[in-house]
Amino acid sequence: MDNIPSETPKSDLPVSTEIVRCLMDIGYVATGRGLQSQATNIFNGIVAARPSSELPLIGLAICKLNFGYVVDAAKILAEQALRLNPDSGLAKCFLAVAIRALGKEKEACDLMHQVCNDTTAEPAAKAMAESFLGGQDVSS
C-alpha cells in the first residue's frame, strides 16, 4: 500500500511503515485465503497501530465484505474510515461497493461519480470508480 502515511502521529504505536505495509499485505492474503478470524485480527491490530489512518479500516471493511458482512463493512467505512478522512476516495469506493451489495444502486453510483469528479482523489480510487461505473458518463 503506497499511501500509508510515513509520518506517525504521537497517538500511533511505534511500528514502522514497512511493517504496517507488510501486515496490510498479509491481511489481504489472509482475506483472500478465507482466513476470516486471522484477517480480522491482523486488520484490527493495524487499526491499533495506525488509529489516525483510514487505510487499515478500509482493509478491515474489505475483509468484512469478502466474508459477506456487508452491513458491518458499510458501517466501518461510513462511520469510521470516512470520519477519519472524509475525502478518502478509496473509502468512498468501497462504501459504494457495499451499498450496491445492499441493493442501493443509485446511491452507490452517486458515490462513485463523486470520486470521479474529485480532482484530489487517489488515482486508484478514480480507476476503481470508472470501472465500477463501466462506461457511464463519469462527469455527471
* pLDDT confidence of residue 63: 97
Question: Could you tell me the CATH number of the domain that includes residue 55?
Answer: 1.25.40.10
Residue 57 burial by Cβ neighbours in a 10 Å radius (0-12, 13-18, 19+):
buried
Contact 100, 108 (CB under 8 A): yes
Q: For Cα atoms 5, 87, 70, give the angle at the middle one, nearest 5 degrees.
A: 95
Among 77-81, 91-95, 121-125, 136-140, the least confident range: 136-140
- Range with lowest mean pLDDT among 76-80, 116-120, 134-138: 134-138
Mean pLDDT of the chain: 89
The pTM for the full model equals 0.85
Q: Is 119 exposed, middle or buried (0-12, 13-18, 19+ CB in 10 A)?
A: exposed
Residue 10, Cβ density class (10 Å: 0-12 exposed, 13-18 middle, ≥19 buried): exposed
In degrees, rounded to 5, the angle at the alpha carbon of residue 65 between the alpha carbons of residues 84 and 92 is 40
* Average pLDDT score over residue span 46-66: 95
92 and 140 inside one domain: yes
Q: Which structural domain range is residue 44 located in?
A: 1-86
| 79 lies in the same domain as 107 | no
Binning pLDDT at 50, 70 and 90, where does residue 3 land?
Answer: very low
Q: Report pLDDT digits (tens) over 13-24.
A: 678 889 999 999
Number of domains comprising the chain = 2
Average pLDDT of the residues in 44-51: 93
